[in-house]
Homo-oligomer: A and B are copies of this chain.
Amino acid sequence: MAERIIVQNTDPQLLAQATAQHMYAQDKATQGLGMTMVDIQPGHARMQMTVRSDMLNGHGMCHGGFIFTLADSSFAFACNSYNVPTVAAGCSIEFLAPAFEGEVLTASATEQSKSGKTGIYDVVVTNADGKKIALMRGKSHQLKGEVIPTQSA
């Protein structure tokens, strides 16, 4: 059984960290791809992933799907950082440069807009040299409820 995390909803930064910790523990996809959380703040997340041999496509480059998945995970952690369950409604991605086996990719997701239940997040994926590998823009949609249970102080 998962240990329940009870958060006092007073500090946005602590809430973002607790929410990310809880989500990550349940997210088999993100774990299975070896992604690690580098930074989490309200409306922002940065994650890293090393390109593995099982992520290569027929051209010998990292399959665009895994670059997208890294960007999508950082987007998901950023838009869930307010502890309101939030899903991706749609995304667009531009592939700028290939990534190769062994490269460490970093995805940095930043909130651009948040209004009602809808948010817009921009994600930049770079390699270790700081070269831009992909730009992703995601639109998020909030559901009802909480990611982790909170109680007022």
Residues in A lying within 8 Å of B, measured CB to CB: 22-24, 26-30, 32, 53-61, 63-66, 68-70, 72-73, 76, 80, 85, 87-98, 112-113, 115, 118, 120, 122, 132, 135, 137, 139, 147
Q: Return A138 CB to nearest CB of chain B, in Å.
A: 9
Contact across chains for A30 and B69 when beta carbons are under 8 A apart: no
From B28, B56, B96, B147, contact of A113 by CB (8 A) = B96
What residues on B are CB-neighbors of A72 within 8 Å?
Answer: 63-65, 68
How many copies of this chain? 4
In the bound assembly, the distance between CA atoms of A54 and B90 in angstroms comes to 22
In the bound assembly, the distance between CA atoms of A30 and B62 in angstroms comes to 11
Grouping DSSP codes into helix (H, G, I), strand (E, B) and loop, the A interface class, with mixed when no group exceeds half, is mixed
Contact across chains for B93 and A91 when beta carbons are under 8 A apart: yes
What residues on B are CB-neighbors of A53 within 8 Å?
Answer: 28
In the bound assembly, the distance between CA atoms of A28 and B66 in angstroms comes to 12
